[in-house]
Chains A and B, each alone.
Chain A
Amino acid sequence: MRFNFSFVLLVVLSICGPALALGPPMDMADAFKLSIDRTGTAATFRWQVAEGYYLYRESLQATTDDGTKLDLRTPAGEMKDDPGFGNTEVYFGQAAATLADAPQTMKLTFQGCQDGGICYPFRTVAIDGLRIEAEAPFGIRPQDPPAFQSFALIAPSAEPEKVEQSAPAPAPVPAPLAEPGMVEGFLARGGTVLLLASFMGLGVLLAFTPCVFPMYPILAATLGRQGASLSPGRSFLLSSTYVVALAAAFSLFGILAAWLGQSFQIALQSPPAILITAAVFIILAIASFGMVEVQLPAGLRDRLARSQRSLGGSFGSTAILGFSSALLIGPCVTAPLAGALLYIAKTGNLLLGAAALFALGIGKGIPLILIGTSGAALLPRAGAWMAQIRWLFGFIFLATAIWYIDRLIPPPVTLALSAALLVSIGVFFGAFDTLPQQAGIGRRLMKSASLLSMLYGVFLAFGAASGSTSMLQPLQFSGGPVASRSLPGLTKASFATVSSNGELKAAVAEAGKPSLVYFTADWCVSCRVIERSVLSDPQVAESLKDTNLVSVDLSDMTPDKQQLMKDSNVIGPPTMLFFDRKGAELPSIRMVGEISARSLIDTAAQTQQALAKPAIDNTAGARQ
């Protein structure tokens, strides 16, 4: 038996005297009832905040078990003003926070007060799956207080923040939140190995998106040029070389972009980069056609001949091709790409970020290697067909070059170039050759295809001459007979465009309804896919009918837009951000990269749901 005559036993807690202006403070666990639910990799924490109590937004923090900070997303709160002591952002009623990539076990910290009465210590709970275990109820025991000089380092209350003194503070600007802490999430769960394996897996999934499609003919062309020397083993090695070079370039661009502080995608869309890439493909095309008939200055001819010789089979040229191909898929923003780039930007960890990008590139290339190795057997080895195969690949390279410089030149010029290409294809493959009487089906079909290519080329030429801009409807030029049809779906024109931070803030804050902000660009292949098959879906239009649609068109880059991207942590198009009525971003549901109609409808529904919660929108005025 042990006696404890501590003074505390003698002191009586006065809980009902007139001394207390408010009711006695509840236990913290009752004042802030915490629950967790998980869907997929995401976890949402909800606090039921007792009436007359509030939670500090800034106090909400999540870390891994070893203390690495996780990217916990919180909605904007209410500004609480203590006269003379400044504003703080708090939640009354309900609060929610989300983690896009939540590890199995983690720690969650929060803090709040009884309004006008008492402030509770920071409380840390340990999370394991769906289980919540309370830790020491009295905060950190300051046996070892932090070193005095480390003021700037201590978290979280010492992080510098702009203090707004003006009364009813406007909803905060889209807070500079990081992309779903994808890299951190994988690292937390399984270290570097899981991170790299996951990025490779994500790469494989992304290999079947339109952005990667041009890689297939390019690789086929590379292999096709090998002729008789192409064995399965060799085509495996060549495909692998191509893919490794592609992945290396991909991670190199990532490092460069991080180093230069430039947006990766924007850098790849700069005119010099486009011209260089197009030039590489034109040189490849020339090499494919053979230089025999073309007279060029001696120096250039020698160089081309050399490159042609080396292209005859060297791994070096395949590597160059892989490297240039990275320029083609680089501009396609995908969630893992954005995650890796933001990770590099945030942590400065170039090596790990680059390794993740490399793994992503390899993943995108795995199907290429498989198809390259198994499909090579189908390619002709020798004979009369060989020349035509080489021509075909030459044309594919030229088409790639045209597709690439399309973003720099006026659309009618693209049409004119395409017309020239299609007519040439027709001529090269026998549109005007006379078929001998005994010609077989193959020859006849070839001639039909050539003539069709001719015909399409001629239409495009007409279109170009009349100022048309559409490859698919070249004769639907302005002034022509335009069939007007009203689409039930959305188009790019359904979005109000903004081009600076100020305009965006105004657009999302003044709408009086939730907003969707869509970053797009003409050169963005995934955006075209979204506009053609996602936005046009009537169900998507229906789900977004109460949403204020805003877009940022990044086709023409300006410093303002660059700043806007930087401030909203947008790596490139396509990216969709969601904002509540008051203009605060709902960061947990941003969408990056190509999306499906289903996922957009689901997200729109999620937005509405999130907005229905008073924790996010508790201003009666904004509800009208």
Chain B
Amino acid sequence: MTLTRRQLVAMAGFAAIAPPSLVFARTDPTSQEMVLHDPEAPVLGNPKGDVTVVEYFDYQCPYCKSSYGMVRDVVEQDGKVRLVLKDWPVFGGASVIAAQAVLASAKLGKYEKTLDAMFHTPNKLQQTDVEKALKKAGLTFDGVGKAVIEHQAWISGLLDRNWMQAAAFKFVGTPSFVVGTTSFAGVLDRKGLKEAIAKARG
């Protein structure tokens, strides 16, 4: 079941005549804008695409890892999908560090490569795994560490917004998806993801 466009429009209209809440909505980290188009979040796929797929994930979550290739493939084949991968490090400290490293690498111009390498690590992350993944992308742990410190505010801001969104959606864990205006708890298969995208296009 989804909300109808009409309902959405009605709600948007209601928002428009309620300026305080409109302001709130803009700065609210759980707003539609911030979930689908967080200007600070790196985007994969087609940045100008008509549908946004958001995935809340963890680098140590086995189902995030096993579905990663499929998700990238579906987005690639579609050609008009924006893919936003949002770190929700539910597996604790090592996942936070992996997330920090990959985000910092975006500032070093290596986001996609590092992300890809980080998804192909063992389930249980060790420092050496993170180092290897960074090396594969042509980076060093120390170099990335410096970038993490330099961009600490940006990284923390992103992670914090991701967390608040996941909490607001009442997601129970990773992976969880938002495709257009529908959310999915748990891993999606190829068919499911394609259908969700098609549905979002209406």
A-B contacts besides A140-B92, A154-B94, 8 pairs, CB < 8 Å: A6-B25, A85-B62, A118-B173, A121-B90, A121-B91, A139-B90, A142-B159, A146-B93
B8–A82 touching, CB < 8 Å: no
The CA-CA distance from A144 to B36 in the complex, in Å, is 24
Tell me, yes or no, whether A88 is within 8 Å of chain B by CB: yes
A contact residues around B172 at 8 Å (CB): 25-28, 118, 120
Tell me, yes or no, whether A86 is within 8 Å of chain B by CB: yes
Q: Which 6 A-B pairs have the closest CB atoms?
A: A154-B93, A19-B192, A7-B32, A121-B90, A86-B122, A118-B186
A107-128 Cβ-contact flags toward B at 8 Å (1 or 0): 0000101101111111000000
B contact residues around A17 at 8 Å (CB): 184, 192, 195-196
The CA-CA distance from A84 to B122 in the complex, in Å, is 7
Tell me, yes or no, whether B118 is within 8 Å of chain A by CB: no
Residue of A nearest to B147 (CB): A148
B21–A3 touching, CB < 8 Å: yes
B contact residues around A155 at 8 Å (CB): 92-93
B173–A14 touching, CB < 8 Å: no
Among B40-48, B73-81, B106-114, B162-170, the stretch in contact with A: B162-170
The CA-CA distance from A85 to B61 in the complex, in Å, is 10
Q: Which of A13, A141, A146, A156 contacts B97 (CB under 8 A)?
A: A146
A7–B188 touching, CB < 8 Å: no
Among A158-166, A454-462, A480-488, A573-581, the stretch in contact with B: A158-166
Q: For residues 30 through 85 of chain B, which have their beta carbon under 8 Å from a beta carbon of chain A?
A: 30-36, 58, 60-66
B contact residues around A21 at 8 Å (CB): 186-187, 189, 192
B contact residues around A83 at 8 Å (CB): 66
Tell me, yes or no, whether B133 is within 8 Å of chain A by CB: no
Q: For the complex formed, measure the closest distance between the CB of B96 and the CB atoms of chain A, giving whole angstroms.
A: 5
Residue of A nearest to B123 (CB): A85
Tell me, yes or no, whether B155 is within 8 Å of chain A by CB: yes
- A–B Cβ pairs within 8 angstroms, 25 of them: A5-B11, A5-B24, A6-B25, A7-B30, A7-B31, A12-B2, A12-B182, A13-B169, A17-B196, A20-B192, A21-B186, A25-B186, A27-B172, A82-B65, A84-B65, A114-B173, A118-B172, A141-B160, A141-B164, A142-B159, A143-B160, A146-B93, A157-B91, A157-B95, A157-B125
Residue of A nearest to B175 (CB): A118
Given contacts A117-B63, A117-B187, A122-B90, contact A10 B181 (CB under 8 A): yes
B contact residues around A22 at 8 Å (CB): 186
Q: For the complex formed, measure the closest distance between the CB of B116 and the CB atoms of chain A, giving whole angstroms.
A: 14
B contact residues around A139 at 8 Å (CB): 89-90, 92
The CA-CA distance from A396 to B100 in the complex, in Å, is 72
Tell me, yes or no, whether B126 is within 8 Å of chain A by CB: yes
Q: For residues 126 through 154 of chain A, which have their beta carbon under 8 Å from a beta carbon of chain B?
A: 137-146, 148-149, 151-152, 154
Tell me, yes or no, whether A11 is within 8 Å of chain B by CB: yes
B127–A113 touching, CB < 8 Å: no
The CA-CA distance from A10 to B97 in the complex, in Å, is 32
Residue of B nearest to A13 (CB): B183
Classify chain B: how many residues form its interface, as a range.
35 or more
Given contacts A118-B173, A118-B185, A122-B90, contact A157 B60 (CB under 8 A): yes
Tell me, yes or no, whether B193 is within 8 Å of chain A by CB: yes
B1-26 Cβ-contact flags toward A at 8 Å (1 or 0): 11100001001001100101110110
Tell me, yes or no, whether B101 is within 8 Å of chain A by CB: yes
Q: Which of B21, B99, B183 contacts A14 (CB under 8 A)?
A: B183
A146–B34 touching, CB < 8 Å: no
Residues of chain B touching chain A, judged by Cβ–Cβ distance below 8 Å, are 1-3, 8, 11, 14-15, 18, 20-22, 24-25, 28, 30-36, 58, 60-66, 88-97, 99-101, 120-127, 130, 144-145, 148-149, 155-156, 159-160, 163-170, 172-176, 178, 181-189, 191-193, 195-196
For B90, B144, B160, which residue has the most chain A Cβ atoms within 10 angstroms? B90
Tell me, yes or no, whether A370 is within 8 Å of chain B by CB: no
Tell me, yes or no, whether A279 is within 8 Å of chain B by CB: no
The CA-CA distance from A137 to B90 in the complex, in Å, is 11
A151–B173 touching, CB < 8 Å: no
B62–A18 touching, CB < 8 Å: no
Q: For residues 23 through 76 of chain A, which have their beta carbon under 8 Å from a beta carbon of chain B?
A: 24-28, 58
A8–B176 touching, CB < 8 Å: no
Q: Which of B33, B166, B195 contacts A7 (CB under 8 A)?
A: B33
Q: For the complex formed, measure the closest distance between the CB of B152 and the CB atoms of chain A, giving whole angstroms.
A: 9
Given contacts A7-B35, A146-B97, A148-B97, contact A85 B66 (CB under 8 A): yes
The CA-CA distance from A154 to B58 in the complex, in Å, is 16
A contact residues around B185 at 8 Å (CB): 13, 15, 20, 24-25, 118
A18–B192 touching, CB < 8 Å: yes
Q: Which of B3, B21, B188 contacts A12 (CB under 8 A)?
A: B3
The CA-CA distance from A84 to B14 in the complex, in Å, is 50
The CA-CA distance from A25 to B184 in the complex, in Å, is 10
Tell me, yes or no, whether A478 is within 8 Å of chain B by CB: no
For A15, A120, A151, which residue has the most chain B Cβ atoms within 10 angstroms? A151
A116–B187 touching, CB < 8 Å: yes
Q: For the complex formed, measure the closest distance between the CB of B49 and the CB atoms of chain A, giving whole angstroms.
A: 18
Tell me, yes or no, whether A295 is within 8 Å of chain B by CB: no
B30–A19 touching, CB < 8 Å: no
A119–B8 touching, CB < 8 Å: no
A151–B90 touching, CB < 8 Å: no
Tell me, yes or no, whether A438 is within 8 Å of chain B by CB: no
For B93, B94, B155, B165, which residue has the most chain A Cβ atoms within 10 angstroms? B93
Tell me, yes or no, whether A624 is within 8 Å of chain B by CB: no
B8–A10 touching, CB < 8 Å: yes
A114–B96 touching, CB < 8 Å: no
B97–A154 touching, CB < 8 Å: yes
For B21, B24, B120, B173, which residue has the most chain A Cβ atoms within 10 angstroms? B173
Given contacts A21-B187, A86-B123, contact A118 B91 (CB under 8 A): no
B156–A25 touching, CB < 8 Å: no
A contact residues around B34 at 8 Å (CB): 7
Tell me, yes or no, whether A437 is within 8 Å of chain B by CB: no
Tell me, yes or no, whether A609 is within 8 Å of chain B by CB: no
The CA-CA distance from A10 to B8 in the complex, in Å, is 7
Tell me, yes or no, whether A4 is within 8 Å of chain B by CB: yes
The CA-CA distance from A4 to B65 in the complex, in Å, is 34
Q: For the complex formed, measure the closest distance between the CB of A92 and the CB atoms of chain B, giving whole angstroms.
A: 15
Given contacts A28-B172, A142-B89, contact A10 B62 (CB under 8 A): no
A contact residues around B160 at 8 Å (CB): 141-143
Q: For the complex formed, measure the closest distance between the CB of A143 and the CB atoms of chain B, giving whole angstroms.
A: 5
The CA-CA distance from A423 to B165 in the complex, in Å, is 90
Given contacts A118-B172, A119-B90, A121-B173, contact A12 B183 (CB under 8 A): yes
B contact residues around A154 at 8 Å (CB): 92-94, 96-97
For A111, A118, A155, which residue has the most chain B Cβ atoms within 10 angstroms? A118
Given contacts A18-B192, A113-B62, contact A161 B156 (CB under 8 A): no
